[in-house]
Structure 1
Amino acid sequence: MPTRPQIQEDNVLKSPFWPEKVRVISVKPIGKSQTKIEGVGLETHRFYNPILFEKDFKTIEILEERHFLFSANGESLFLYLEANRIRNAFQFDPLYAVNVSQIDPLPHQIEAVYDYIIQNPRIRFLLADDPGAGKTIMAGLLIKELKYRGLVERILIVAPGHLKDQWLREMKDKFQENFIFIDRNVMNAAWGQNVFNDRNMVIISMDFAKQEDVMFTLKDTTWNLCIVDEAHKMSAYKYGEKINKTQRYSLGELLSPITNYLLFLTATPHRGDPENFRLLLDLLEPGFFADTAMLSESIQKRDNPLFLRRLKEDLKDFEGAPIFPPRIVKTVKYFLSDDERKLYNTVTEYVEKHFNKALAKDNRNVAFALTILQRRLASSVRAIRKSLERRYSRLNELYEKGQLIQQKMEYDEDYIEDLEEKERWEKEEELLEKLSSAETLEELKDEIEKVGELVSLAKEVEKKEIETKLNRLKEVMDDERIRQTGAKLLIFTESRDTLDYLVEKLKAWGYSITSIHGGMDLDARIKSEDNFNNTQVQIMVSTEAGGEGINLQRRCWIMVNYDIPWNPNRLEQRMGRIHRYGQQHEVHIYNLITTDTIEGKIYNALFEKLSRIKEHLGSDRVFDVIGEAIIGKSLKDLIMDAIANPKTMDDLLKNFERILDEEAIMKVRETSLEALATKHIDLTRILGEQRKAKENKLVPEYVEEFFKRAAEALNIKKEERENGLWRIASVPFEIRNQPYEFKVKFGEVQREYLKVSFDKEKAFRTQAEFVAMGHPILEAVVNTILTRYIQSATDGAIFSDPERKRDGVIWFLEAEIKDGKNEIAGKRLFAIYQDRNNALSFVNPAILWDLKPEPEHSEYSEISLDKDTIMSFVISEGLENYKKELLQRRHRNAEIKKKYGIRSLESQILDSDGKISDYETRRIKDENIPEATIQNEVRKKEDLENKKQRLQREIEAEVHLYPTEPRILGAVRILPGKVRADMVSDEEIEQIGMKIALEYEREYKRTPEDVSSQNLGYDI
């Protein structure tokens, strides 16, 4: 039992008073019988300061004295030090998350995560790449990287409801990250508990999250990282001095302060409204841009730290080739038959009449219901017939019950637009079937009679089977020689009824068909996608449910839009199913558009304008900004305005022509944020980072070799299978028995693994489980090694150098740089070689792979071991340079924050001060200025001043970095190996070779550096 005087600074203690081994910082007597021991946990770095009585000392065991006897088992020490290196893999593998995830990343994805997002001390970032760039992949890389660095544990993903399955699937399949989805059912089952506090990795629908009770629950939570997909939906608009905030924007305001890191994802951040864009950025860093002028300045000078945007034509692969093949979009025009035109005109007259009546009464829900009917009319005769039948039947039921339903529904158009397709259909049908502009039962009866006439007319037209659009589809298929070549075809429609109609017709034509629609569950959609990609199925017919989250580019390059969605974003999303990375063919898109309907005329005029814009831009990045960019309003509003007032149609078309092409081009460039797009990606640097990972020996081959050696030591039964795969037959209980925190972070360790691979390509090819850093079995092995062999690190061991170049000691240390907020700014492992003359130099921490463990108690000559000298060397020669490296970027970020953030807040404070002075002056002149108005402005000014002070403190803290005391992990005594004489390298010949190589490189104007002493596996 140790006594109080025996416990000294730097001792490592083991006791029931701590949940882990603790290194002593100080021992302070308190009175005669109590002692305060201050220490830091070896695993968690948590601070402990218990006050103990004399009797408590019998539970304390002093584990180590800082004397290296070099008596430990060399293999045990190798495993311990290599486990430390794996636990800090991100230091040695600059692309750590890339190499432990089952993805094939592209240069722009690597650049976004490693050169932009993760470089921010406090991540507040908008990633705004074009559609198809793989923003979900980039988010997954960020999650993986931050989790392994120990920077995040609680992660919240907020996404549109229809994308939740895609997020769950991609995080699990590609990154082995298991999220859960929380909805109303999960919340209700929690019996009043805060369901978000019990889960660390959560996905939630944006429109569920914006509901009042859900926001109230979220307000009492905190997160390390929050990711918002389709973040542009969190919109706010400024009208004069008033800001109109949507519920989604209010959700963003709630999320911003409850998360440390915040990442927004969107492909359409701007929409032609700079103020709307500024307000979106305001959610990331409140007050960072006082006005749009300051925002424009940052875009022009390309020094905005809050966002990154790359356009699809600038995205290249590692060979420098464009990742998106050409895309040819053709408008296929057709005229309605006489019968179809009669049906169209009659239904449109009905819609016009009741739409205008609803608007006059400010009944926007009835008006919205009628827009749904008009869209069905544009889709197909089958779709309008079935919609009219359902409306006729439901209105009859209401009439018989004596009911009129005109009341406001509990959801708005934006809410419905963002629902999953099945729910959206249900809500749309509810609106379409129940709501009427009729104010009396007599009016309702008249409307029912009219709808009945429309049903009869639709049936007559359908019975004649003269649908012109279907014939144009057949012509497109013939032109593309679909039947002769077996080429696959993707057809999109908005309507489930139209989908059923097309499936019937295409099957009758003899084609093999599959389909995707919102009524299918995730498994059924995956099966349909797989059938299309991997079997002889030739045609897929899909509603908008297939417009997101499925990838069909491997086998399909021809697509037909059977109807055109009134939401242009959906058009771009549809095309993105086949026009994306991995497509090997020129993509052909056909839009079927009639020339003699209101919608058709508008689309034709728009597409002609867009065609001219495309010629100027050299790009077709225009479909998702059709309305806002060119005509300043949404397509839906444009079409319904024309339907409500047909007389304006000619004026509308003339307005299109009045908009100069140059003006439209400028608007498209503004809306697509071309000015802030980053065009150059440094491929050379990224390839260099990949090479660095190989040099540091953390590529799969070395991880696999470490696991094999660790398995031998830990009695894990394994057997090699064919194709280089492994079966882990039995995992001992000690390794499976991990704490709760481990299971939350990495998952459960299984008793056995039937088929695993340490190579991700091989794992993907053979359907094996991919084992890499972050996988439960590897992390459990690392944990067990670090616990079991800590004494080996304390004792040290002997290794020999087969090349006979070294005779000395190699020290292994871990050190951190912290900032003024006491947060870790950087962490490094160092290996320092001390030769027999006590000269010190840095070597690669992977050096043990090139050395050979010698038997315990081998003879060796003594070398002076001075821990303080080693510490001083690491701090002055290693950490000081590392600190400068970190400070360089931090100073740049700080200057940008001062330039825009501080300046913006000062500008707003000045404006507020001016308003207060103005109010006071007007009061002196006896003008009636309410006290509440003045006090509101005073509070606003105080809030701005507080924000400025907080930002100033944050900037100061981020640029004041300091090194913490390095921690010695272990040391090895290295001896010259016993090598046969014919294998000894000739140093003189080696130096001659080095000299020739260096001169050759200099001759070609390169700057070679001799790094032979660092043991990197290469000399220059």
Structure 2
Amino acid sequence: MAENRLSTRIGQQISLPGHFDVPVCLEHVRALGADGSAGYECRVRLPDGTLEETVISPAEAASLCGTDQEGPTAIKPVDAERLRLLIESARIRLAYAHDHQFAVSLSGIRTLPHQIEAVYQVMLPQPRLRFLLADDPGAGKTIMAGLLIKELKLRGAIERVLILCPAPLTIQWQDEMLQWFGESFDIISSAVDQQQLGNPWQRSSQVIASIDYAKQNDVRERVWQQRWDLVVIDEAHKCSAYTKSSSSSERSNEVVETKRYQLVKRLSEAVDNVLLITATPHHGNEDRFSHFLRLIDLDLFPEPHRFGKEAAEARREIFRLGKGSPWCLRRLKEDLKDLNGKRLFSNRLAKTVTFRLNSEEYALYKSVTDYINKFIPHQSGKRGSSAALTRTVLQRRLVSSTCAIHESLKRRLKKQQDLLDQLAGLSPAQRANRLAALQGRLPDAEQDEDDLDNEVRDRLVDEYTAALELEQLRAEIAALKELVEQARKVRELANDSKLAALKKCLGEAQFVDLKDGRGKLLVFTEHRDTLNYVREHLKLWDYSTCEIHGGMNPHERKRAQEQFRTTAQICVATEAAGEGINLQFCHLMINYDMPWNPTRLEQRLGRIHRIGQDRDVYAFNFVATDSEDGQPIVEGRILHRLLEKLDTMNEALEGRVFDVIGEVLSLNDVNLPDMLREAAYDPRRLDEYLDQIDRIDPAKLKEYEEATGIALARNHVDFTGFQRHNLEVEEKRLMPRYVETQFIAAAKEVGLHVEPRADGLWRIEHVLADLRSERLRSVQRLGKPDPSYRKVTFHKHHLEQAAHVDAVLMGPGHPLYAAVDEKLNEKLAALQGGIGFYVDPLTTEPYRLHFFEITIRGKDSRGSDVPLHGELVAVREQRGQFEIVPSDILLNLPPQANPPSAVDPVDTQAASDFLKSTYQLECRARCQEERQRFARICREYLERSFDVRIKRAQERAMLLAAEATTKPEYKLSADEARKYVEELQRQRRERLSGLGRLEIARTGPVRHVATAIVLAAGADTETQLADLADELDPNVRSRSERAAEDLVVTALKEEGFPGDRIERVGHLKLGFDIRAHRIADEATGEVLVKRVEVKGRARGQPVRLTTNEWYKAQQLAETYWLYVVWDPLGPNPELVRIQNPAVRLDHAKRQIVAARFFEIPAEAVVEAGRAYL
């Protein structure tokens, strides 16, 4: 008997004190013993969706059923406002199901079409990401990586992230991840590693590190030991490998891998999600490019040293997929547009400024050059690298400024004198060892000069000596003393030709804006000494200045950047400003010192020629070509000829010359640093080098890119499709006002004091210790919230205002929001599965709203469970019929003023079954289709790659086996070849099996969150609610609304909107009824869009907008229109149009809090509508 009565509770929420501390949903009952005499086995579902079994006693069963009554025991309804908090928490946490650009909504950035395409259409849908993002410089690749990280974290798909990049970029990555995405990363460096106890690589879940630190033997082992969910490699092209040259005609099978390459290769093998970022995926070397691509997927891209022709063909086939490729995306600057179809990048114009050295300067130039050639000669091996570095730095300081070479010579003289004093006290053997050590001290053979820290480079150069004996050292010291004195005299007494050229340049027409405050100028030097010297003279010329250099910490650089943006006319900078600093508010640049690394030209220009620059950019390159009497300055002659060549090549390269200068020089066998060093050492070769520059052929780049297939990877954004899709995404975006309302209410519930500021933002003086506790799952995932927040906003447009650049954008994914949300769910756990009462003023009969959390689960390539989809779904139940309704529906329904004290439990099983058999299956089908599409492409190309490799390996094994039958010395090679075939076949099985796992998508648990009983407003409802009931009966209202919409559609057609671009979307509950769009500017493709809320009312009636409609009007601003039709069913209907009603009617609205409406008087509507006439 009890079993039967217990069975009536299946699908209902029940309380089992002593078994569970929260209400559970009963799913199955089985009696133990005769008629349950031994108890009952119950299977229940917990609020988190997990299934549990427990056995209850007959007494507990009787208590649960209520032995003295026929029906189920009545339960007490829960507080409706608190229940709404619980439901809204789940809706916002899972908002990515509807807001398909969730991270964009929650980040402080304005995204662009190509960024949205890369993240949301190409990378994010992939179940296993192996991707090369190879867009041109300045396209915002860091932003795309940040969006990807944020989205994957919001979905619960990743937790542990590793970002490897060049050392100078670590702080930039950390700063941008925090500033734009609210993601805190720890930088692990040598200092951090040594100072901390334990293993920081294990302790930190989000890590940024220099790739040159992580590659070190004792460090990389600890990096490899950790489980990473996503690895991002910036400047990935620096991870290189190549096939070693062979003296025979046959291709060598030996591959030389740099330590950077080894580090990333091992990570690529172990980690499912790998993102390689570079603007220069190749440097004109096909073999290196082929090896580089193998970092994406070792099985997909065959080894070029074994399968040269097949590897090239596989590469071209993969690139030929274009944007359909799940492995690579490449967009050029010329193809990038903003949301309105306008070009993202302005024009770049370069001008070469030449000048001549006076006789004193040229004499110093000759003396220093002679000194370099005599005392720092060419050498080989490690000594050669150290000598080349020292020669290069001294030559560059020489052409930088008299001030720079004077200071350098003084420092070098002191170091050499100190060395002489040290050597004097050593034995001959110790002396020889010490001198030998100073000749080969490059710390890392893989690093270029530009990779070295300034202090490290200066120390190496100042301490280097080629002397093998004390007399040689004494001779150099004597020469240095003379040079120091000569440089002092030139610095103090002679005119500065380069400085005079700068002053003259500042008088040219392009710099007029600089003087009247409309323009900014960035001056690049190579050395701090020159920076100080130039800045000093700019101040004497009455310019306001600031500086950025490598000796400044990140906070000092940011302050200097802000000073440049606001008050300083000119910023003088060293190469420290060439990476990681965005200065698009400046459009003038002077290369006071020309870089010897050609890619530095683009990097410098990229600081100002980037997204957000709305003016043409001018770059002036300073070069000394001759002395006054016509003697050549060899470095200047070479650089001048190169700049001339770049100018002539620009058209052939479609304006990309500065973006591809490194690749073009490499393809034409021009090594600029070597050329400049050699010319200074042997000026007789100057004409040879000038001829070599003249022969540079830009067509080689196109030929190479076509031959390697990289040209096939070039993609164009489908702009028309993007605009249409973007309209829908914008409309479904999570509204900041709802997030703000939820957070403020949740904070109050958990005891966090949030107070409003006078400027409309919020302040949190003290974050509770409970919200910073390590036990919180949110703290473990996202890190601890700060102890306090001086300025908090929920609206990203605030961050674009100068007064609020220091504000914190709060929302899901932020550590404090997540901690508050977790504590809220802990506190409201008893409400899970509860029932609340609400009122719908627009309905005539009651209905129920059941809220469920659904999940779709899948597998990663290793077979581990991963979440694919999660969503809060609302099911409306009325008269036994079920339908899916928007999950935010409750936001428009006020709580019932006087709910009943008890209510019968609600059976949710039928609603749950309806949801499982319809909507959840549809979600699963969508997830599986996307995963199968990816797996299908991967399987096709992986099978092709393995087939080629296995066939070639089998042919070689058969050949060697045949030889081994008559030649025993071949037996070992034959066995190894056979084992290699078996290994390839094993790898093939494993990879294809992994792909099969990626196709899995199954329905997960359906968790009942809560049920709302919604009543019609009636006589027993508060007077205010009764007054809000529309006077029209439902049938009349329906006809009135349809008539009003028909009139609005006709009006929109008259306004020029094509009929096929006018959509009725009221059923989607987006907050408006009609979407209309058309091309506003044929030249740019700019789209005009109207989102129209239609209201049909009797003339003189007030107009009411729901909370959702009003907030949507605030969000969509100028694209949101209110069209009011007076008397839509009468003979003379009248249409009133109001653009941006949230602003134009804000003064007149009356908020009916209890009913969650905004009411606008008819006269205010008429007055606002006059603006359209």
- The TM-score normalised by the length of structure 2 is 0.78
Instruction: Write the distance in 2 (CA, Å) between the matches of 1:66 and 1:952.
Output: 54
Cα distance, 1:620–1:16 mapped onto 2, change above 3 Å:
farther
1:568-596 C-alpha deviation (Å, 9 max, x unpaired): 22221211221122223211101112333
Where does residue 986 of structure 2 map in the other structure? 946
Once structures 1 and 2 are overlaid, which stretch shifts more, 340-349 or 744-753? 744-753
Q: Does 2:1012 correspond to 1:969?
A: no
For residues 121-270 of structure 1, the aligned pairs below 5 Å read 121-191=127-197, 193-239=198-244, 240=251, 241-270=253-282
Match 1:91 to one of 89, 93, 97: 97
* C-alpha contact 1:70 1:798 (8 A) present in aligned 2: no
CA RMSD of aligned residues (A): 4.0
Match 1:495 to one of 524, 527, 531: 527
Tell me which structure has the larger Cα radius of gyration: 2
Q: Does 2:855 correspond to 1:834?
A: no
Match 2:813 to one of 759, 774, 793: 774
Q: Does 2:634 correspond to 1:580?
A: no
1:731-788 C-alpha deviation (Å, 9 max, x unpaired): 7787676833222334446787554332222355353443222334433443344334
Q: Does 2:520 correspond to 1:471?
A: no
1:53 deviation in Å?
10
Instruction: Write the distance in 2 (CA, Å) between the matches of 1:33 and 1:377.
Output: 97
1:787 alignment partner, SS class: helix
1:693-730 C-alpha deviation (Å, 9 max, x unpaired): 5457x311222233444456556555544343344578
Instruction: Write the distance in 2 (CA, Å) between the matches of 1:524 and 1:851.
Output: 52
1:803 alignment partner, SS class: coil
Q: Does 2:535 correspond to 1:543?
A: no
1:208 deviation in Å?
0.9
Instruction: Write the distance in 1 (CA, Å) between the matches of 2:385 and 2:763.
Output: 63
Match 1:365 to one of 386, 395, 416: 386
1:360-392 C-alpha deviation (Å, 9 max, x unpaired): 996332233222222222322222233233333
Cα distance, 1:592–1:81 mapped onto 2, change above 3 Å:
same
Once structures 1 and 2 are overlaid, which stretch shifts more, 199-208 or 633-642? 633-642
Once structures 1 and 2 are overlaid, which stretch shifts more, 873-882 or 719-728? 719-728
Instruction: Write the distance in 2 (CA, Å) between the matches of 1:409 and 1:334.
Output: 37
1:841 deviation in Å?
2.1
Match 1:297 to one of 300, 317, 326: 317
For residues 344-383 of structure 1, the aligned pairs below 5 Å read 344-352=365-373, 357-359=378-380, 363-383=384-404
* C-alpha contact 2:646 2:657 (8 A) present in aligned 1: no
Give the letter for the 1:758 counterpart.
Answer: F
Instruction: Write the distance in 2 (CA, Å) between the matches of 1:78 and 1:644.
Output: 79
1:975 alignment partner, SS class: strand
Where does residue 631 of structure 1 map in the other structure? 668
2:231 alignment partner, SS class: strand
Give the letter for the 2:268 counterpart.
Answer: S
Give the letter for the 1:809 counterpart.
Answer: R
Q: Does 2:1022 correspond to 1:991?
A: no
Instruction: Write the distance in 2 (CA, Å) between the matches of 1:808 and 1:225.
Output: 46
Give the letter for the 1:181 counterpart.
Answer: I
For residues 435-446 of structure 1, the aligned pairs below 5 Å read 435-446=464-475
1:551 alignment partner, SS class: coil
Instruction: Write the distance in 2 (CA, Å) between the matches of 1:471 and 1:133.
Output: 37
Once structures 1 and 2 are overlaid, which stretch shifts more, 735-744 or 903-912? 735-744
Instruction: Write the distance in 1 (CA, Å) between the matches of 2:930 and 2:329.
Output: 17
1:154-212 C-alpha deviation (Å, 9 max, x unpaired): 22221211112212222222222222222222222334x32211121222111111111
Match 1:600 to one of 631, 636, 657: 636
Where does residue 654 of structure 2 map in the other structure? 618
Instruction: Write the distance in 1 (CA, Å) between the matches of 2:114 and 2:1011.
Output: 41
* C-alpha contact 2:523 2:591 (8 A) present in aligned 1: yes
Give the letter for the 2:291 counterpart.
Answer: L
* C-alpha contact 1:271 1:671 (8 A) present in aligned 2: no
1:444 deviation in Å?
3.5
Instruction: Write the distance in 2 (CA, Å) between the matches of 1:356 and 1:247.
Output: 30
Cα distance, 1:29–1:285 mapped onto 2, change above 3 Å:
farther
Instruction: Write the distance in 1 (CA, Å) between the matches of 2:356 and 2:789.
Output: 63
Pairs aligned (count):
1004
1:478 alignment partner, SS class: coil
Match 1:739 to one of 775, 790, 801: 775
Q: Does 2:566 correspond to 1:534?
A: yes
Match 2:893 to one of 843, 851, 855: 851
Q: Does 2:364 correspond to 1:324?
A: no
For residues 798-947 of structure 1, the aligned pairs below 5 Å read 798-804=837-843, 807-820=846-859, 821=863, 822-836=865-879, 838-855=880-897, 857-858=899-900, 867-926=908-967, 928-929=969-970, 931=972, 933-934=973-974, 936-947=976-987
Where does residue 1017 of structure 1 map in the other structure? 1071
Instruction: Write the distance in 2 (CA, Å) between the matches of 1:281 and 1:36.
Output: 58
For residues 602-751 of structure 1, the aligned pairs below 5 Å read 602-623=638-659, 625-626=661-662, 628-663=665-700, 666=703, 673-682=710-719, 685=722, 688-689=725-726, 691-692=728-729, 694-695=731-732, 698-710=734-746, 718-727=754-763, 739-748=775-784
Cα distance, 1:914–1:873 mapped onto 2, change above 3 Å:
same
Over the matched positions of the two proteins, sequence identity in percent amounts to: 31
Cα distance, 1:465–1:585 mapped onto 2, change above 3 Å:
farther
Instruction: Write the distance in 2 (CA, Å) between the matches of 1:938 and 1:364.
Output: 44
* C-alpha contact 1:225 1:261 (8 A) present in aligned 2: yes
Cα distance, 1:265–1:842 mapped onto 2, change above 3 Å:
same
Give the letter for the 2:962 counterpart.
Answer: T
Give the letter for the 1:581 counterpart.
Answer: I
1:544-571 C-alpha deviation (Å, 9 max, x unpaired): 11112222222x2111111111222222
Instruction: Write the distance in 2 (CA, Å) between the matches of 1:597 and 1:36.
Output: 94
- The TM-score normalised by the length of structure 1 is 0.88
Where does residue 796 of structure 2 map in the other structure? 760
Instruction: Write the distance in 2 (CA, Å) between the matches of 1:68 and 1:123.
Output: 52
Cα distance, 1:999–1:764 mapped onto 2, change above 3 Å:
closer
Instruction: Write the distance in 2 (CA, Å) between the matches of 1:855 and 1:1001.
Output: 42
Once structures 1 and 2 are overlaid, which stretch shifts more, 708-717 or 805-814? 708-717
Match 2:591 to one of 561, 564, 578: 561
2:353 alignment partner, SS class: strand
2:595 alignment partner, SS class: coil
Instruction: Write the distance in 2 (CA, Å) between the matches of 1:754 and 1:660.
Output: 58
Once structures 1 and 2 are overlaid, which stretch shifts more, 590-599 or 542-551? 590-599
* C-alpha contact 1:798 1:853 (8 A) present in aligned 2: yes
1:491 deviation in Å?
0.9
1:92 deviation in Å?
2.5
1:147 deviation in Å?
1.7
* C-alpha contact 2:155 2:867 (8 A) present in aligned 1: no
1:120 alignment partner, SS class: coil
* C-alpha contact 2:50 2:1005 (8 A) present in aligned 1: no
2:650 alignment partner, SS class: helix
Instruction: Write the distance in 1 (CA, Å) between the matches of 2:495 and 2:706.
Output: 43
Where does residue 122 of structure 2 map in the other structure? 116
1:823 alignment partner, SS class: strand
Instruction: Write the distance in 1 (CA, Å) between the matches of 2:818 and 2:533.
Output: 54
